[in-house]
Structure 1
Amino acid sequence: MTSEAEPPPVLFSREGEHLAVITLNRPESRNPLDLDTQDALIAAVARLEAEPGIRVAILTGAGSAFSSGGNVRRMSAAASGPAERTPAEARRYYRHGIQRIPLALERCEVPIIAAVNGPAVGAGLDLACMCDIRIAARSARFAESFVKLGIIPGDGGAFLLPRVVGFARAAEMALTGDALSAEEALACGLVSRVVPDAELMDAARALAARIAANPPQAVRMTRRLLRLAWNGSLETVLELSANMQAVAHTTADHKEAMAALREKRQPVFRGA
């Protein structure tokens, strides 16, 4: 849990009458989506729904990264990492952990703009895909990098990314784990605009103002309708993701990937 001396993992602020800004606030560790951040982010999304004056929200990251995804240090810690759990425990870890986030954003009626201020990696990329619109700073990078750690997108990324960029591009990103630049992300439709770093929040606010200028109930219903038409069966993909992720965390290749990361060497994968 977050101690009283630590800053909150997520900041929530109101700007003007209709805009909320949600900021992932662990810049020293590149805004990982650990349990404290998950809880705080879900609470922030609930607040969007609870405050009827909010018509649009911006989600961004503090510091130089949008989000690094999973907390690699905690994942590799013997006492708490999902690799050390039984498959049944790991399945529950995902279903009652990070998988709450796509469901919370799916149910939210307030449009959310991701202002991607830096690298969006793994679950961080998937978090950006959970938003309705993505604007990128020129320094932003995007990677569906789970495979490089010997695991799979356990947070719904296998459902989200193909719907944003198309199946072939999503498959290339997920199977290689390679990163895209902001301009490459723009070319494949992952983001709708790339702006200089210093102009990112101004561009996001300007877009938010255009959305907020429309009738709020129509905006909410339109957002909901778009989601229902776009998504199909998210719950099925999350269920499959939880099951496969539970297995992936027990593999030797996952352990090798984590060890190589800690030891700063190239991993040797054996398909085990």
Structure 2
Amino acid sequence: MTEAPHVLVNEADGVLVATLNRPEKLNALSRQTLEILESAVYRFRDSPSLRVMLIRATGRYFSAGADLREAGVSAPPTSGTEIREMHRLHLNGMRRMYDEMEAIEKPFVIAHQGPCVGGGLELSLSCDFRLAAASASYSFPEGKMGVLPATNGISRLVRLVGAHWARYLVMANLPANAQKALVMGLVHEVFPDEGFDDAAMAFCRHLVGNNPDQMGAAKVAIEIARELGVTQAASVERLANSALMLAPAYLEGMRAHVATIGTKTSG
């Protein structure tokens, strides 16, 4: 019997939906999973009609992390340099894809309907918005094996939740349920399990309705501003708006808004 694709990809209302589809393997990230996901990322990047990309999953787990059965096929590394280069260049293209997701000036949304573990969590850290069902949970099991999550697990985690909560997840090696993840700032919103898929799609449709140039500029400006002091970050805001405020849509919208205000005042 032919195995089902590890990821299902479809389009709906300007949203590219990629659904992890290995429920019997707890959606472990196989080579095929990452290849299909990366192809979907490039399709999203290169298609003007696609405004938002949603990553979600079937089954009781969002993802149990990397497929360790596949990882064990190749010969183990023999030096520290080889390990560092493996993390930088290989791992089925994880880092390349994650970097591209952060660079694309469109929003990525990821929706966790269940436990999100290890590599699944590292994938999530590269997305712009993380949504959780009440049943979702988060953990890095790498600590139990005496190593660190090294493909976003430290670098992007700290930037999102700060050193305080990164210590909890990585040093203490403790899991976080959906509500604790919300407190950490790891997820943006928690929804009831029932109707979670609909809530995630509603969030994506809201983003589709936003101004794409504004969202793209905001994504770049926010990324730059968090690395700068207040004065330099304010210059980034001005640079971004110097382009946005010349757009015909903005000028027309402002004229209409001012006219509306004038009508209300005169009345």
Q: Which residue of the other structure, out of 73, 78, 82, is the alignment partner of 1:86?
A: 78
Q: Distance in 2 between matches of 1:99 and 1:15?
A: 28
**One-letter code of the match for 1:155?**
T
- Matched to 2:74, the amino acid is S
Give TM-score scaled by structure 1 length: 0.76
What is the CA–CA distance in structure 1 between the aligned matches of 2:49 and 2:83, rounded to whole Å?
A: 39
Q: Distance in 2 between matches of 1:136 and 1:119?
A: 10
**Equivalent position of 2:16 in the other structure:** 20
d(CA) in 2 for partners of 1:59, 1:196? 18
Q: 1:208-223, aligned counterparts within 5 Å?
A: 208-223=204-219
Pick closer, same or farther for the CA change 1:42–1:228 going to 2, 3 Å.
Answer: farther
Q: How far off is 1:40 after superposition?
A: 1.5
Give 3-state SS (helix, strand or coil) of 2:66's partner.
coil
Q: 1:46-57 counterparts in 2 under 5 A? A: 46-57=42-53
Q: Report 1:150-169 matches (<5 A).
A: 150-169=146-165
Partner of residue 205, structure 1: 201
For 2:165 and 2:156, the matched residues in 1 are separated by 12
Are the aligned partners of 1:136 and 1:193 in contact in 2 as well (CA < 8 Å)? yes
Do residues 96 (structure 1) and 93 (structure 2) align? no
1:136 partner SS: strand
Please say if residues 26 and 62 of structure 1, whose CA atoms lie closer than 8 Å, have aligned partners that are also in contact. Answer: yes
- Classify 1:230/1:21 alpha carbon distance in 2 versus 1 (closer, same or farther; 3 Å): farther
- How many angstroms apart in 2 are the aligned matches of 1:127 and 1:57? 13
Larger radius of gyration: 2
Structure 1, residues 50-103: CA drift from partner, whole Å, max 9, x if none? 11111112111121111111123334x4x426xx22235444433222222321
Q: Structure 1 CA distance, aligned partners of 2:33 and 2:208? A: 27
- Aligned residue number for residue 247 of structure 1: none
Q: Of the candidates 55, 59, 64, which is equivalent to residue 63 of structure 1?
A: 59
Q: Distance in 1 between matches of 2:83 and 2:2?
A: 30
- Over the matched positions of the two proteins, sequence identity in percent amounts to 33
- AA partner of residue 123 (structure 2): L
Alignment RMSD, CA only?
Answer: 2.0
Match of 2:5 in 1: 8
Q: Do 1:42 and 1:104's aligned partners in 2 also have CA atoms closer than 8 Å?
A: no
- Counterpart residue number, 2:143: 147
**Equivalent residue pairs, number:** 224
CA displacement 1:103-156 (0-9 Å, x = unmatched): 121222220111111111111112112111111011111002211122211212
Gaps of 5+ in 1: 233-272
In structure 2, C-alpha distance between the alignment counterparts of 1:85 and 1:23, rounded to whole Å? 32
Match of 2:242 in 1: none
Alignment partner, residue 174 of structure 1? 170
Aligned 8 A contact 2:99 2:126 in 1 = no
CA–CA distance in structure 2, aligned partners of residues 219 and 150 of structure 1 = 40
Cα deviations by residue, 1:17-64 (Å, 9 ceiling, x for unpaired): x11111112111111223222222111111111111111121111211
Structure with greater contact order relative to length (CA < 8 Å, sep ≥ 6)? 1
AA in 1 matched with 2:3: E
- Provide the residue aligned with 2:265 in structure 1: none
Mapped contact 1:148–1:177 kept (Cα < 8 A): yes
Displacement of 1:6 after TM fit? 2.1
How far the C-alpha of 1:194 sits from its partner, in A, is: 1.1
- 1:66 is paired with a residue whose SS is coil
Secondary structure at the aligned position of 1:185 is classed as: helix
Query: Could you say what secondary structure the match of 1:85 adopts?
Result: coil
Write the distance in 1 (CA, Å) between the matches of 2:212 and 2:69.
42
